[in-house]
Structure 1
Amino acid sequence: MSTHQIVALGDGGASSGGPARLGRIRALARGRGVLIAAATVVALVVVAAMCAPLIAPYDPNAVDPTAVFQGSSAVHWLGTDEAGRDILSRLLYGARPSLLAPAVVAVTAGLAGTVLAVSAAWIGGWYDRLVSGLLGVVFGFPGLVLAVVGAAVFGAGLHIAVVTLSVAFLPYIARVVRSAALRERQLPYISALHLLGMSGWRICLRHLAPNLLPLVLVQVTTSFGYALLDVAAFSFIGLGAQPPTAEWGLMVAGGASGILAGRPEQSLYAGLVIVVFVIACNLLGGLSPRLLGHQR
């Protein structure tokens, strides 16, 4: 075979694999771009919430009867609500309870769910059956229903929503982590650690739980977005944050009168912020493990 034939064959092999490789590179680049965009949205909203007293143009509860239902202008960039309050300022201040409450829900459910899942997978037997049964019972009740029941028993308030939603979100995280913990427990390194004389709790704390951490973070990130929706819905029906508190779900509900008056800005902007932020959280939770898998 001549040198030219060998070169031709080499070029043909490279060209046949080139499109597929290029497609994978493009898909990975798009995934990273979407992930960066989602992370940027989340970071900007969190920073805006933290810096609300510095960047908000007005007091969120300052009432101005002469500026009711004004549209966007140089004075009020996003307009005013039914009491003449600046919508932009209320969005910025409203980010604090709107983000803090679901963050507490997601972190609490993540910690409690991980402890229950790892302990059930490790101990097994009657304890595993008991934990699985309890998780199945709680899983059968929607989070918002539990929150409404809690409000009926203990009264309305954002703290009631946080407690009840933490319980409601616990099985969503615990069931996934338990399945992963059961698979992880069968791996050879667990048996090797046993042979080295390491106790069960040390294996779970120093090896099993850290290996499950990426999965837990994905579940917590995704749950955070859904918890934000539930907290906003809880405030929307009047059982969460109470007026005149600036909170996104409460702002959507408060803007109903503006919609009838042809001024939907308050409900529109608050609802848009909720939707964009929840989508960004879901993208972070969904794309992160895939990109980590590509890097391996």
Structure 2
Amino acid sequence: MTEEQAALKAFEMLSQQSVGQIATSFHYDYDKPGVITILFLSAQELDSAKGSVANSIEIDDIAIRHRFELVLRTGPRIDPALGRLDEIDAEAAMSFPTEGGDVARIEGSNFFGTVGIAVSRIRLEAATRAGTRYVCEGDRAFLSNNHVIADYDRAAIGTALRAGTGTSILGSFFPMRDILLHFDFALGINLSQGSFIGGTIRGLGSVSQVIRNPAANGESIRKVGARTGLSSGRTVGRTSIRSSGYQEQQRWFNGVYKTTQGFGRGGDSGSIVVSDSMDILGLYSWSDREEEAPFPTNFGYFFTLGPDQYPIGDGPSVAIEYGSPSDKST
């Protein structure tokens, strides 16, 4: 077991204990080997967790006791990266036909995220350790976050969406109510003819046919978000985060990749994260809460679409037919 894999296993054990009820996130940073950082919103919560963390070290296995130093400190809340329509000229940001990087939202909602990528066909399949299997698939579909276009499981299949100028509906999503499923994915279906360009990200071009995990030692990454546009950064670690899940109830999401500061902001959720060679690495989903002044870190977080989600080999199976980037699919 590598150190990164051991850290992910330690995250799981800690989140299941009492410390997991008040911590906001566990971090393993590539530039701090042998250290797990546990973040709390306040000094009071940090103090109340000290005993639980000490007990975890005593009773849990070698992954924590012999491999890691546990550092406790306060830090920002991690929230889904949702924007509001009054923050940008959202209507101007949407153009015809739809491409990755355009605004995505539920019709009539004031909150928006991003179209990750529009494709001719996509199928995502994932299974929990309990054996429950989920499938999201669709033709003429676009990928985004559940919290963007399915409203934390609250939206019904067939709900009207806005993604570009064409007519779209919610096609399927991975349910957040299953806490063993560590994904925030949903698919919208383009109903209008000629409504998207397959396999492209606005301002970046065509993605490659490769879907993989980022390099473990930090990798150069890029994305185009509906709020911030093109941004670049690198991966700086893996983390487990406590954030909004089913109907916005708090839950843990494990094995998430952490980005350098300033990679994304509210409104960028759903952006496809790519490598310098345009390999698909994941789906941007969260950022540190920006208005919490003591913690202006603004790190970003994304799910990998590769096979190694959490802790080992627990990622989704993804099959994509992109369609011709030059063809307005009909």
Q: Same fold (TM over 0.5)?
A: no
The structure showing larger relative contact order (alpha-carbon pairs under 8 Å, at least 6 residues apart) is: 1
More helix by proportion, 1 or 2?
Answer: 1
The alignment's TM-score, normalised by the length of structure 2, stands at 0.23
TM-score norm. by structure 1 comes to: 0.25
